[in-house]
């Protein structure tokens, strides 16, 4: 095993110089061209006196080159959103270049937790290589693969797909989101090899809604699809299995802090929402006595940049103590129960809102929804379902309530129903529960 992504890139540039490494709508860059660009840019970056380089993560191939060049120059990469405000960009640049960092730090990835406080998660090349090795072994990355990346490259969901692709010598296709499903499907149609992609559940739902028939017609060209970052509904999982009977469909447990921990092909006979499969080869996963998931191994972060107190709260004796609750079934598979922060107490009964939302999403006319807590004069708190309706569909609250009552225990059935034009989601497709709590 080589010691960095850049060593693998150099190897491929020497052994298969003409193979396409990175492609976008306006460019196709070979491994030799990418290596030449990376080495040239690394020379310039090495003259920069700063330890850490903040990069705006646009969706083009040049970001990937700059990301690798910064590593090669011996600097820390700090990828940020491409349209980040100038004042926030400057604040991050000041932070990462004034606080002390472990010599092993390779990347600082900024995330926003449930408190809303921005945290810079520090990871090493060891983390990058261990995560990549997990994905290669568990999901079957190969040189004969075109991996389509549509998400933001400053977050682990998409950034982590660059790592195994470079290591095995696959081709990366970078797109600016999934706003144009036709463009996404055209890439699959025109690919000379099988394709794979990572899509958050919200994006998968867009593909199911707007490209149902086209997705089915391209089933033979799709090697695998991975989802994660947020729960996927049972109904969407089942729809994907029907449309893509021979495609591997993975639901993965990962976070910036823990790395990529477990994955499950739900198109292999066990299609159950919340099932995240068995732990990967470089990771350790346990459920602690309080029911929370704990992760260890070479994929876990080094800490939060400039925040030793928050680091000590979550990283204990080399183990990440998450706020996710879960169980391990008889086959050793992780079953996610939801986040402790999200549980709603209704008259003494604890309700996981994900279970309520999953049942609501079974209704074809519902495009999106979220279950939140609402004040109640007797119970203290009651369940409110906010829902968005598919264009052209008719739906009334009584119909939704009857459906919910037929599928859930009484205390899990929402008392209140509100139709809205849009459900708030974060940059990576997660339901923005914090905005509703506020």
Q: Give the tens place of pLDDT for each residue, 164-203.
A: 999 999 999 999 888 888 999 999 999 999 999 999 887 8
The pTM of the full predicted model, rounded to 2 decimals, is 0.83
Identify whether the C-beta of residue 430 lies closer than 8 Å to the C-beta of residue 230. Answer: yes
Residue ranges of the chain with pLDDT lower than 50? 113-116
- Which of 300, 333, 366 is at the close of a domain? 333
Query: Is there a single domain that holds both residue 103 and residue 232?
Result: yes
pLDDT for residue 273: 87
pLDDT for residue 112: 52
pLDDT for residue 85: 85
- Domain span including residue 375: 343-437
pLDDT for residue 113: 44
| Residue 229 φ/ψ, nearest 5 degrees | 75, -30
How many domains does the chain contain in total? 2
Query: Is there a single domain that holds both residue 179 and residue 96?
Result: yes
Identify whether the C-beta of residue 293 lies closer than 8 Å to the C-beta of residue 287. Answer: yes
Query: Is there a single domain that holds both residue 96 and residue 40?
Result: yes
In a domain, 338, yes or no: no
In a domain, 64, yes or no: yes
In a domain, 82, yes or no: yes
Query: Is there a single domain that holds both residue 299 and residue 407?
Result: no
Query: Is there a single domain that holds both residue 421 and residue 366?
Result: yes
- Which of 312, 333, 354 is at the close of a domain? 333
Q: From CA 204, how far away is CA 187, in angstroms rounded? A: 16
Helices (H), 244-374: 308-314, 353-360
Query: Is there a single domain that holds both residue 323 and residue 347?
Result: no
Q: What digits encode the pLDDT tens for the residues 39-95?
A: 999 999 999 999 999 999 886 788 999 999 999 999 999 999 888 888 889 999 999
pLDDT for residue 388: 94
Query: Is there a single domain that holds both residue 269 and residue 384?
Result: no
Contacts for 237 with CB less than 8 Å, ≥ 6 apart: 249, 251, 266, 271, 273
Query: Is there a single domain that holds both residue 301 and residue 365?
Result: no
- Which of 308, 333, 358 is at the close of a domain? 333
CATH of the domain at 354: 3.30.300.30
């Amino acid at each position: 095993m080589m010691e960095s992504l850049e060593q693998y890139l150099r190897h491929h540039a020497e052994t298969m110089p003409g193979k396409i490494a990175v492609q976008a709508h306006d460019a196709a860059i070979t491994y030799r061209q990418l290596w030449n660009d990376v080495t040239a840019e690394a020379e310039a970056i090495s003259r920069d006196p700063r330890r850490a380089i903040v990069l705006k993560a646009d969706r083009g191939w040049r970001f990937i080159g700059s990301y690798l060049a910064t590593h090669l120059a011996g600097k820390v990469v700090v990828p940020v959103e491409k349209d980040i405000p100038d004042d926030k960009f400057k604040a991050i640049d000041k932070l990462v270049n004034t606080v002390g960092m472990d010599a092993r730090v390779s990347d600082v990835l900024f995330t926003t937790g449930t408190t809303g406080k921005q945290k810079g998660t520090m990871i090493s090349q060891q983390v990058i290589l261990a995560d990549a090795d997990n994905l290669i072994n568990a999901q079957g990355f190969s040189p004969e693969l075109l991996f389509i990346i549509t998400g933001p490259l400053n977050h682990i969901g998409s950034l982590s797909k660059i790592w195994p692709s470079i290591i095995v010598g696959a081709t990366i296709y970078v797109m600016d989101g999934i706003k144009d499903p036709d463009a996404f499907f055209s890439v699959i149609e025109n690919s000379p090899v099988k394709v794979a992609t990572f899509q958050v559940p919200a994006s998968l739902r867009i593909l199911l809604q707007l490209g149902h028939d086209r997705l089915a017609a391209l089933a033979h060209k799709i090697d695998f699809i991975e989802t994660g970052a947020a729960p996927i509904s049972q109904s969407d999982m089942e729809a994907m299995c029907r449309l893509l009977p021979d495609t591997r469909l993975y639901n993965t447990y990962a976070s910036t802090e823990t790395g990529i921990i477990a994955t499950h092909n739900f198109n292999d006979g066990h299609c159950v929402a919340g099932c995240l499969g068995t732990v990967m080869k470089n990771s350790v996963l346990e459920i602690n006595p309080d029911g929370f998931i704990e992760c260890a191994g070479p994929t876990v972060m080094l800490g939060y940049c400039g925040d030793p107190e928050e680091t000590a709260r979550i990283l204990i004796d080399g183990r990440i103590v998450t706020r996710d609750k879960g169980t391990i079934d008889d086959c050793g598979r992780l079953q996610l129960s939801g986040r402790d922060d999200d549980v709603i107490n209704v008259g003494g009964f604890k309700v996981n809102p994900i279970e309520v939302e999953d049942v609501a999403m079974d209704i074809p006319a519902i495009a999106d929804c979220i279950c939140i807590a609402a004040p109640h004069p007797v119970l203290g708190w009651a369940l409110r379902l906010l829902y968005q309706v598919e264009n052209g569909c008719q739906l009334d609250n009584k119909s939704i309530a009857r459906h919910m009552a037929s599928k859930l225990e009484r205390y899990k059935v929402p008392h209140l129903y509100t139709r809205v034009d849009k459900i708030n989601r974060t940059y990576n497709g997660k339901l923005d529960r914090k905005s509703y709590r506020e």
